[in-house]
A and B are shown apart, each in its own frame.
Chain A
Amino acid sequence: MTPETQARIEGLVKQNKIMVFMKGNKLMPQCGFSNNVVQILNVLGVPFETVDVLADEEIRQGIKEYSNWPTIPQVYINGEFVGGSDILIELYQKGELQQMVEVALAS
């Protein structure tokens, strides 16, 4: 990953309290796993930003190195990597995601 890509990723996860790297966008997710994440955040009714990795090959590869995580989607809350689709579903089912999101948005 180039220093420029790293700086762009850092900027995105720090400037947005809830940041999602996904395939497609909120309205047209291009993968079932990305869709899961969008649907969960929509149900919570919280504001979140997305980046379409299919439109940006440097971010698509760079984000995997950045988090040491091999798959898309990736969700960051308050600058911290929280997980992909499976973990988001699990945190949501346990009620933990709601708490994390509330804390982040209140900060």
Chain B
Amino acid sequence: MISPNQVEAMIQAQLPDAQVQVLTNDGEHYEVIVVSSAFEGKGLVQQHQLVYKAIQQEMLSGAIHAMAVKTYTPDAWQSAASAV
């Protein structure tokens, strides 16, 4: 089983400036929120591809069955946080 901390570390290895929140109930289904300046100027597909790239091996091996992804640029995160 992969721990939330391991998932966070894998994403930060791919996106060094990323702020990452990882949620899981069972160690197979994950939910992550990633905030990184690397997402600026990119479409949602490319943003999510950056995150998937970090955990590619684990997804192909089936260690991670599914991961819900939310991505934000630092600016978008600020507006989302202030809207709540």
Contact = CB atoms under 8 A, between A and B. Distances in A.
Interface residues of A, number: 15
Interface of A is mostly: mixed
Interface in A83-97: 83-87, 90-91
Contacts, number: 33
Interface of B is mostly: helix
B59 interface: yes
B69 interface: yes
A84 B52 CA distance: 12
A66 to B, nearest CB: 13
B60 interface: yes
Contacts of A31: 66
Given A83-B44, A87-B44, A90-B44, A68 B49 contact: yes
Interface in A63-92: 68-71, 81-87, 90-91
B44 A69 contact: no
A70 B56 contact: yes
Nearest to B52: A70
B9 interface: no
A70 B57 CA distance: 10
Contacts of A33: 66, 68
A70 B55 CA distance: 10
Contacts of A84: 48
Given A70-B59, A70-B60, A71-B52, A87 B45 contact: yes
A86 B68 contact: yes
Contact of B45 (A71, A83, A85): A83
B59 A86 contact: no
Nearest to B69: A86
Interface of B: 44-45, 48-49, 52, 56, 59-60, 66-70
Given A83-B45, A87-B48, 10 more contacts: A31-B66, A33-B66, A69-B52, A71-B52, A71-B66, A81-B45, A83-B44, A86-B70, A87-B44, A87-B45
